[in-house]
Amino acid sequence: MRNRKTFALTTILVFLTLQIGTVQARRLKPEVWILGKPDWARGPSKQPEQVIPWGIERIRASDAWQTSTGILVQIAVLDTGVDKDHEDLNINIKWGISVVGDDESTKYRDWRDKNGHGTHVAGTIAAMYNDVGVVGVGYNISIYAIKVLSNSGFGSWQDLADGILWAIKGPDGIIDIDGDGMVAGDPDDDAAEVISMSLGGTSYSAEVEAAIKAAYDAGIVLVAAAGNEGDDGVTYPAKYDLVIAVSAIDKNDDIPSWSSKGPEVELAAPGVSVLSTVPHDKYEEYSGTSMACPHVSGTIGLMISKILAEGRDYTVEGIREILRATADDLAPSGWDSASGYGVVRADKAVAEA
Beta bridge pairs of residue 328: 343
Closest CA relative to residue 235, chosen from 262, 268, 257, 207: 262
Domains of the chain: 5-352 (3.40.50.200)
Q: In what order do the strands lie in the sheet with 221-225?
A: 93-98, 142-147, 74-79, 194-197, 221-225, 243-249, 265-270
**242: pLDDT confidence band, cut at 50, 70 and 90?**
very high
Please state, in angstroms and rounded to a whole number, the distance separating the CA atoms of residues 165 and 208. 10
pLDDT at 44 over 80: no
Tens-digit pLDDT profile for residues 118-138: 999 999 999 999 999 999 999
Closest CA to 168 of 149, 186, 141, 150: 186
Continuous H helices in the chain: 54-58, 61-64, 108-111, 117-126, 157-169, 206-217, 289-309, 316-326, 346-352
Mean pLDDT of 265-286: 98
| pLDDT value at residue 26 | 30
Distance CA 91, CA 193 (A): 18
Q: How many CB atoms lie within 10 A of CB 74?
A: 25
- Residues 278, 102: Cα–Cα separation, whole Å: 27
Give the number of C-alpha atoms closer than 13 A to the C-alpha of residue 203, restricted to the C-beta side: 14
What percent of the chain shows pLDDT beyond 90? 85
pLDDT, tens only, 290-325 = 999 999 999 999 999 999 999 999 999 999 999 999
As a whole number of angstroms, the distance between CA 6 and CA 39 comes to 40
Asked if pLDDT for residue 2 goes beyond 50, the answer is no
Q: Which residues are catalytic?
A: 79, 117, 290
Q: Which residues contact 53 (CB under 8 A, 6 or more apart)?
A: 124, 134, 135, 270, 274, 275, 276
pTM tops 0.75: yes
State how far the Cα of 302 lies from the Cα of 308, in Å rounded to an integer: 10
Angle between helices 289-309 and 117-126 (to 10 degrees): 40
Task: Name the amino acid, one letter, at 280.
Answer: H
DSSP assignment of 30-76? --EEE--EE-TT---B--SS-B--HHHHHTTHHHHTTT---TT-EEE
**In this predicted structure, what is the pLDDT of residue 46?**
57
